[in-house]
Amino acid sequence: MSSPRFRIAPSPTGYFHVGGARTALFNWALARQLGGTFVLRIEDTDTDRNRPEWTQGIIDALAWIGISADDPHFEGPYLQSDYTQQHVAAVQQLVDAGKAYYCDMTAADIEARNKAEGSTGYAGWSRDRNLGPGPDRVVRFRVLAGTTIVRDQVRGDVEFDNALIEDFVLLRSNGAPVFLLANVVDDIHMRISHVLRAEEHLSNTPKQQMLWEALGTPSPVWAHVPLLVNEQRKKISKRRDKVALEQYRAEGYLANAMVNYLMTLGWTPKGPEVQPWPQIEGDFRLEDVHLSPAFFDLKKLAAFNGDYIRMLSAHEFLEACRPWLLGPDAGFPADRFDETKFLAMAPHIQPRCVTLADAPGVVDFLFLAEPIIDQDAWAKVFAAPDAVAVLREAIVAYDAMVEWNHEALKSTLEAIGATHDLKLGKTQAPVRAAVSGRSVGPPLFEALEVLGRDETLRRMRNAEAALA
RNA sequence: GCCCCCAUCGUCUAGUGGCCUAGGACACCACCCUUUCAAGGUGGCGGCACGGGUUCGAAUCCCGUUGGGGGUGCCA
């Protein structure tokens, strides 16, 4: 038996959808695990909506989540529009075999006839009229009586009564094949063995299965995975929801976190849900895929992201954050950024970030020429009875310190606090406000060590002067 | 309307007839730790939609109801 061939068939009509990413990941895991192939086919036949530039966007998005076009399991991308001849030929084959026929009824004709007969839908009215090709004529598939059983690897056998499926259009009156047909013909030509896609396609699967059979090929293994839904329990869509993978990337989500989270939607890893991809790839089984829709929960995604950020080494964290650190929204000039200082602070920054975009804001005061004063925090801190006195004494003591390191900075301030009967929590507040302009931030003494004696004292003296 | 799918804490889920007084994770709350804020630790809150069966025994099997979703195009 030849190796399995999977595929995803996105249309280039916008940014790559997280739901599409999840489906791609499921296919990818199986293709790699089983030594099979993952085919990317761009379904670009809707000329009104598709835009060529989105194709590269899809490839980039896939690469981001680890589905690399350089991997030997990857094949494509193919463009559906390159195969129009084959689609048309397949339709002709069906017409020649009497499995499809021409019909000249327009939507208005159909509506009128239904109105007259009190019926709905299209009841195969042109089946036996033996119409040939001609302007404004479509080709419809002749749906045979009986039942069609879709053997789905996730849902089991699903039975459809053919009588309820009307003779659907294969070729539009303008000569263009419809999605259903093109999709099947391409799958056949690309020797796809497993069609794993979202559940929204389940209802149309009997039509596709009939097409596979009519075209003389046994249908593939079907597998319909549950939909991703929003808080309203409707499938997430571009219109209503934040679905662009690229957007999450731009907001500072880690690819590994996104991948891991996506894999928990519709499937459960063995053991802890935070799992490295190789483990997931090895454990993933179609039989274990769930049946009910999953809510795409931003809060849970954020939790995964925080976990993955904390797992990064300092250097990895720096590299991951670089675009935000040196970008226009960093909050400080790029030329004032100092890698060494950032690296030293990294272990203290990581647990304070949900996304990579949070990083600059945690340490911006280290790279700013002057701290930005949060007036409310400042007022509150220096309203405390001994705050100003502590600041003054700290300036003197810090100026006299021999070794400038966080242990010494801490014990020195602790000693000052003791003379005022203050705990360290209270004692550090004025120093933090003076140096960072805020009342919250990363551990103070570590930050002061990194900031350096001169700059620390300069800021403390400035604050003292401002308070005078 | 018709067809199809689905149904365990707010959410993601474990659970495949007795191990379930239903387990975990996120969120939330409390406490601990503590140098602020986080992170971390401990604990708490909270669920088998409903009604019938089947069975010695049902979250687990069957039927129905209800609820939710998807499909039903000369969109993909």
Residue-level pLDDT at A47:
62
Q: What is the tens place of the pLDDT at every residue in A295-322?
A: 999 999 999 999 999 999 999 999 999 9
The residues of A between 357 and 386 with beta carbon within 7 Å of nucleic strand B are none
Q: Which residue is nearest to nucleotide B26 (CA to C1')?
A: A300
Query: Measured CA to C1', what is the nucleotide nearest A169?
Result: B74
Rounded Cα gap, residues A166 and A122, in angstroms: 6
pTM of the model: 0.94
Is the confidence at residue A439, as pLDDT, over 80?
yes
Can you read off the two tokens belonging to residue A327?
């970008």
Helix (H, G, I), strand (E, B) or coil at A171: strand
Q: What percent of chain A has pLDDT over 70?
A: 98
Phi, psi of A467, rounded to the nearest 5 degrees:
-90, -15
A175 CB-to-strand B distance under 7 Å: no
Question: What number of other Cβ atoms are within 10 A of residue A110's Cβ?
Answer: 18
Name beta bridge partners: A326: none
Average predicted confidence (pLDDT) for chain A: 95
Q: What is the residue extent of each domain of chain A?
A: 321-467
Rounded Cα gap, residues A117 and A306, in angstroms: 62
Rounded Cα gap, residues A80 and A42, in angstroms: 6
Across the range A90-97, mean pLDDT stands at 96
Rounded Cα gap, residues A448 and A198, in angstroms: 53
The residues of A between 46 and 105 with beta carbon within 7 Å of nucleic strand B are 46, 49, 80, 105
User: Of A235, A186, A176, A175, which is closest to residue A208 (Cα–Cα)?
Assistant: A186
Candidates A234, A238, A242, A270; catalytic one: A238
- ipTM for the predicted complex: 0.95
Q: Which residues of A264-292 are buried (b: 16+ CB within 10 A; e: fewer)?
A: bbbbebeeeebbebeebbebbebeebeee
Strand B footprint nucleotides (protein C-beta < 7 Å): 1-8, 10-14, 24-27, 34-40, 68-76
How does DSSP classify residue A256?
A: H
| Domain range A321-467, CATH class | mainly alpha
Helix (H, G, I), strand (E, B) or coil at A73: coil
Across the range A445-454, mean pLDDT stands at 97
Q: Is A6 left (phi over 0), alpha (psi -120 to 50) or beta?
A: beta
User: Of A95, A79, A59, which is closest to residue A167 (Cα–Cα)?
Assistant: A95
Rounded Cα gap, residues A337 and A196, in angstroms: 47
Radius of gyration, CA atoms only, chain A: 32
User: Of A366, A380, A369, A460, which is closest to residue A413 (Cα–Cα)?
Assistant: A460
Contacts of A112 (CB under 8 A, 6+ apart): none
Active site residue A99: no
Across the range A443-461, mean pLDDT stands at 98
Is the confidence at residue A235, as pLDDT, over 70?
yes
User: Exposed, middle or buried: residue A200 (CB in 10 Å: 0-12, 13-18, 19+)?
Assistant: exposed
Name beta bridge partners: A221: A194
Query: Measured CA to C1', what is the nucleotide nearest A362?
Result: B37
Residue-level pLDDT at A425:
95
Å: A293 CA to B56 C1' = 37
Residue-level pLDDT at A44:
87
